[in-house]
Structure 1
Amino acid sequence: MMRLSIAIVLLLAPAFAHAWPWSDDMANQISIKPQESVDLKNPGMTPYPKRSIPIPGTSSMIRDMEASEKQTNPIPADDKSVALGKNLFEIYCAACHGVSGKGDGYVGAKLLLQPFDLTAEQTIERSDGFIWGYMTFGGAIMPSYANDLSATERWSVINYVRKVLQNGQSAVADEPAAK
């Protein structure tokens, strides 16, 4: 009889803690959802700002390689973008593609299929949108970097690859030299 009483008390304990049938307070809270209007007089989604770049989770996101190939790089290949691209390339890409971009990185050497040589004619002929899409969606052995790099950061990596690795220009210094 004692065991039955303890079982009933334990079964009803969540109800007394206002957690029956499991609280969903975190899901049902007052918050603004992404792209939700905060203007109560004109409810609905607010339009994207001009020159905005789609990112995962938005309704206008590029959803496949075919659509991404048609994109043009909206980020100018200036020193700031190339320097950012260099830093990101060294963090995310050099392990497989190598520091020179020839597909001879330490991790890439251990793979059955070698990573693309980013300095090869075949890659140079590809559009910036194709490379951006490949970074976004991944490929045969390349994982998607859409969660690791923002859309703008992916364009900056492309600027670095195009300007430095493929054109043989010297890399931009991380900080300008003192005069």
Structure 2
Amino acid sequence: MKKITLAIALLVAPAVAQAWPWSKDMSEQISVKPQESVNPANPGMATYPEHSVPVQGTASFVKDMEAADKQKNPVPATQKSVELGGRLFGIYCTPCHGYAGKGDGLVGQKLVLQPYNLTADQTKQRSDGFIWGMMTFGGAVMPPYANDLSPTERWHVVNYVRKVLQQGGTVQANVNGR
């Protein structure tokens, strides 16, 4: 009888656990929700800051890898761009590609298909647009980063890959951005 009671309790426990208060912790936060007023005394969405002006960036609307491959890099490979690209590479790319870009990151080592070696001749021969497109659309095992990195940030990463990883520079990818 005790075994049957224990078995029933184990089967019912997951259903009951969903009713606990912590089951909605992520959706019921103190943060401001989309289209929610930041000022209860003055309801409505917050307006844009005074004197704000939309700035045109390097937004790029490409439909596929073929179109991406034909793109030219609109971001000059300045020291600032390469450093920013290195920080972003350290955050988004090193888990699979490793700090040296050889496809030997900790996550990449566990994949059946190994990530691209970004320092290989095969990759060096590809266009900047191809590398940018891989970050945008993803690949066989690579997820797309279009939602995580802006178009300009992806170009900064391309500059880092070209100037530091492929030209034998010092690898300065730092996850903390220091």
TM-score tier, shorter chain, comes to 0.5 to 0.7
Residue type matched to 1:137 in 2? F
Structure with larger Rg: 1
Q: Any idea what the Cα deviations from partners look like across 1:67-111, whole Å, max 9, x if unmatched?
A: 111111111111100000000001000000000000000000000
Distance change (3 Å), C-alpha of 1:173 and 1:103: closer
Q: Equivalent residue for 2:108?
A: 108
Distance change (3 Å), C-alpha of 1:173 and 1:114: closer
CA RMSD of aligned residues (A): 2.6
1:126 matches 2:126 = yes
TM-score by length of 1: 0.64
Q: Equivalent residue for 1:72?
A: 72
Tell me, in whole angstroms, the C-alpha distance in 2 between the residues paired with 1:169 and 1:87. 15
Distance change (3 Å), C-alpha of 1:103 and 1:172: closer
Where 1:101 maps in the other structure, the secondary structure is coil
Q: Equivalent residue for 1:150?
A: 150
Q: Equivalent residue for 1:37?
A: none
Q: How many residues align?
A: 127
Distance change (3 Å), C-alpha of 1:173 and 1:154: closer
Report the CA distance between 1:172 and its aligned residue: 6.1
| Alignment check: 8 A CA contact 1:70 1:129 kept | yes
Report the CA distance between 1:118 and its aligned residue: 0.2
| Alignment check: 8 A CA contact 2:98 2:104 kept | yes
| Alignment check: 8 A CA contact 2:81 2:159 kept | yes
Tell me, in whole angstroms, the C-alpha distance in 2 between the residues paired with 1:109 and 1:170. 23
TM-score by length of 2: 0.65
Q: Any idea what the Cα deviations from partners look like across 1:10-55, whole Å, max 9, x if unmatched?
A: xxxxxxxxxxxxxxxx7xxx98xxxxxxxxxxxxxxxx94xx4225
Unaligned runs of 5+ in 1: 1-25, 32-47, 56-60, 175-179
Tell me, in whole angstroms, the C-alpha distance in 1 between the residues paired with 2:88 and 2:82. 10
Report the CA distance between 1:171 and its aligned residue: 4.6
| Alignment check: 8 A CA contact 2:59 2:152 kept | no
Q: Equivalent residue for 1:168?
A: 168
Tell me, in whole angstroms, the C-alpha distance in 2 between the residues paired with 1:127 and 1:166. 13
Q: Equivalent residue for 2:58?
A: 53
Report the CA distance between 1:169 and its aligned residue: 1.8
Where 1:93 maps in the other structure, the secondary structure is helix
Report the CA distance between 1:63 and its aligned residue: 1.1
| Alignment check: 8 A CA contact 2:137 2:146 kept | yes
Unaligned runs of 5+ in 2: 1-34, 36-43, 46-54
1:96 matches 2:96 = yes
